[in-house]
């Protein structure tokens, strides 16, 4: 219990530090949303309208420490204010509409990449030096070094523009009304096929190499040798003895990936015009939408810290040595 309390206290402090950085980052960016709106209007907006806009969106001149405490109050009350880009919608409404799409898109791709990459890594380590390992492992390293933007644009150009097999944008067919019916669900799956595959393809190499290296380190351990000595099948030794312990370091990368899901896969969502959190964050940055940027980064921070806290507990479940300690 003391371990759990210490970890929870640590993550509370980490959240406060991250929230403070989140407060400062938008204010260090050049430009101001009110100035941008005023400049875009040209001479059609009177000067007094600028003051009214600033008051509407909360950009009132006050000491920095007062702004900081008001910001902390809004964080703990989940009242991030009104979005400048999506006015008059609140920030929370904008983010909650984009959240399910990001959870579906990035979450599905992360789980697929972790499962496929880990299984391939286990088998490559078990057959190290063989034909499978000699082909798959270098290929994984090559894929891992390719920027996600390049893979996303290449996939879009080949399958979306060239062959016209898959849609190039949106989360579903615009003419459909959302609902729990097969026409809508099939359209969502059809539109998600290319971005999900792209995201998973980019991440598989990292999980494969990590799992392979961890697995090789486990194959010479005493518990694996003992499993062979007992006459157990190769499959049981491979998965129950070696892979289970090799999985622990990979779980850290998996947890970090799950945490980053909340931020959305910015590049992929922009390339495929997918209505997730990453695309919303990009629009907020372009518009200098401070409330939207801050709300998005707070959600990303909470997701990352929660994922790390959960992985601490999962480690205890997977590793008997930690439970005894």
Cα→Cα distances 174→66, 93, 184, 277, Å: 45, 21, 10, 19
pLDDT tens-digit readout, 202-245: 888 888 888 888 888 777 777 777 776 777 777 777 777 777 77
Give Dmax (Cα) for the chain.
Answer: 86
Helices (H), the chain: 2-28, 33-41, 47-57, 64-77, 91-126, 131-144, 148-155, 182-219, 222-229, 234-236, 244-261, 266-271, 277-286, 290-318, 320-324
Distance CA 293, CA 297 (A): 6
In this prediction, residue 123 carries a pLDDT of 86
Nearest alpha-carbon partner for 211 in 132, 119, 140: 119
Question: What is the reported pLDDT for 128?
Answer: 83
pLDDT band at 11 (very low <50, low <70, confident <90, very high): confident
pLDDT tens figures, 131-184: 888 888 888 888 878 888 888 889 889 998 888 888 888 888 888 888 888 888
pLDDT tens profile 283-320: 888 877 778 888 888 888 888 788 778 777 777 766 66
Q: What's the confidence (pLDDT) of residue 254?
A: 77
CA distance 237 to 242: 6
The mean pLDDT value for 74-78 works out to 82
Look at the pTM and tell me if it is higher than 0.85. no
200 and 113 in contact (C-beta within 8 Å)?
Answer: yes
pLDDT of residue 325: 57
**Predicted confidence band of residue 43 (pLDDT cuts 50, 70, 90):** low
Domains of the chain by residue range: 14-77, 97-324
Q: Residue 320's pLDDT is what?
A: 61
What is the pLDDT at residue 263?
57
The CATH number assigned to the domain with range 97-324 reads 1.10.3720.10
DSSP state of 319: -
Average pLDDT over residues 29-48: 65
- Model confidence at 262, pLDDT cuts 50, 70, 90, reads low
55 or 80, higher pLDDT: 80
pLDDT band at 58 (very low <50, low <70, confident <90, very high): low
pLDDT tens-digit series, residues 84-122 = 777 778 888 888 888 888 888 888 888 898 889 888 888
Predicted local distance difference test score (pLDDT) of residue 40: 63
Residue-level pLDDT at 50:
66
Q: What is the pLDDT of residue 261?
A: 65
pLDDT higher than threshold 60 for residue 1: no
**Higher-pLDDT residue of 94, 53:** 94
Higher pLDDT: 55 or 175? It is 175
């Amino acid at each position: 219990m003391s371990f759990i309390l210490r970890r929870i206290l640590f993550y509370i402090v980490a959240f406060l530090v991250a929230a403070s950085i989140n407060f400062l980052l938008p204010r260090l960016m050049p430009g101001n949303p009110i100035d941008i709106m005023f400049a875009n209007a040209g001479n059609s907006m009177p000067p007094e309208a600028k003051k009214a806009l600033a008051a509407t969106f909360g950009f009132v001149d006050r000491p920095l420490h007062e702004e900081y405490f008001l910001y902390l109050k809004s964080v703990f009350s989940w009242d991030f204010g009104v979005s400048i880009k999506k006015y008059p919608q609140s920030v929370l409404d904008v983010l909650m509409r984009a959240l399910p799409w990001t959870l579906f898109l990035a979450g599905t791709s992360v789980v697929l990449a972790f499962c496929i990459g880990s299984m391939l890594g286990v088998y490559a380590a078990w057959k190290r030096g063989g034909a499978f390992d000699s082909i798959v492992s270098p290929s994984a390293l090559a894929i891992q070094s390719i920027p996600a933007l390049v893979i996303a644009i290449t996939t879009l150009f080949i399958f979306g523009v060239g062959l016209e097999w898959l849609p190039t944008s949106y989360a579903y067919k615009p003419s459909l009304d959302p609902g729990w019916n097969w026409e809508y669900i099939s359209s969502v799956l059809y539109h998600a096929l290319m971005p999900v595959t792209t995201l998973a393809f980019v991440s598989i190499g990292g999980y494969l190499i990590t799992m392979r290296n961890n697995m090789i380190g486990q194959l010479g351990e005493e518990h694996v040798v003992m499993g062979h000595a007992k006459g157990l099948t190769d499959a049981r030794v491979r998965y129950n003895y070696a892979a289970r312990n090799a999985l622990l370091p990979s779980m850290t990368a998996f947890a970090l990936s799950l945490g980053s899901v909340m931020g959305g896969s910015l590049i992929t969502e922009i390339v495929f015009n997918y209505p997730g959190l990453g695309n919303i964050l990009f629009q907020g940055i372009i518009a200098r939408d401070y409330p939207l940027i801050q709300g998005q980064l707070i959600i990303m921070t909470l997701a990352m810290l929660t994922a790390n806290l959960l992985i601490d507990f999962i480690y205890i479940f997977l590793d008997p040595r930690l439970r005894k300690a």
